[in-house]
């Protein structure tokens, strides 16, 4: 069972105290997504997560690795 994307986003915000400025807009968009099939404006959830991941390289630690793996698995599904 997969968690809603907005729940994952809240967990990221709680763990990543000073997010990289490039990741902030995508993290904000993720807060309004429920499933991988949702969209935010003209961007689909897969794109938003991909953009977030490319801007989240400075987020490190056990929680970061865990959540990034969860997001990667989520976007790989179809």
The pLDDT value given to residue 77: 73
8 within some domain: yes
75 within some domain: no
> Could you tell me the residue range of the domain that residue 8 belongs to?
1-44
Across the range 47-58, mean pLDDT stands at 97
The pLDDT value given to residue 26: 97
The pLDDT value given to residue 78: 64
Q: Name the domain count of the chain.
A: 1
5 within some domain: yes
Tens digits of per-residue pLDDT, 15-45?
999 999 999 999 999 999 999 999 999 999 9
Packed helices 5-15 and 62-76: angle between N→C axes, nearest 10 degrees: 160
For the cut 70, the answer to whether the pLDDT of residue 54 exceeds it is yes
pTM of the model: 0.93
Classify 41 in phi/psi space as left (phi over 0), alpha (psi -120 to 50) or beta: left
Structure tokens, 30: 């993720």
23 within some domain: yes
Structure tokens, 20: 């990289």
21 within some domain: yes
Query: In angstroms, rounded to a whole number, what is the distance separating the alpha carbons of residues 61 and 65?
Result: 6
Average confidence score pLDDT of the chain: 96
């Amino acid at each position: 069972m997969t968690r809603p994307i907005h729940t994952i986003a809240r967990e990221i915000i709680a763990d990543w105290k000073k997010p990289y400025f490039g990741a902030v807009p995508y993290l904000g968009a993720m807060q309004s997504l429920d499933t991988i099939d949702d969209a935010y404006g003209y961007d689909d959830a897969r794109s938003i997560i991909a953009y977030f991941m490319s801007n989240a390289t400075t987020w490190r630690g056990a929680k970061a690795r865990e959540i990034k793996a969860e997001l990667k698995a989520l976007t790989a599904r179809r």
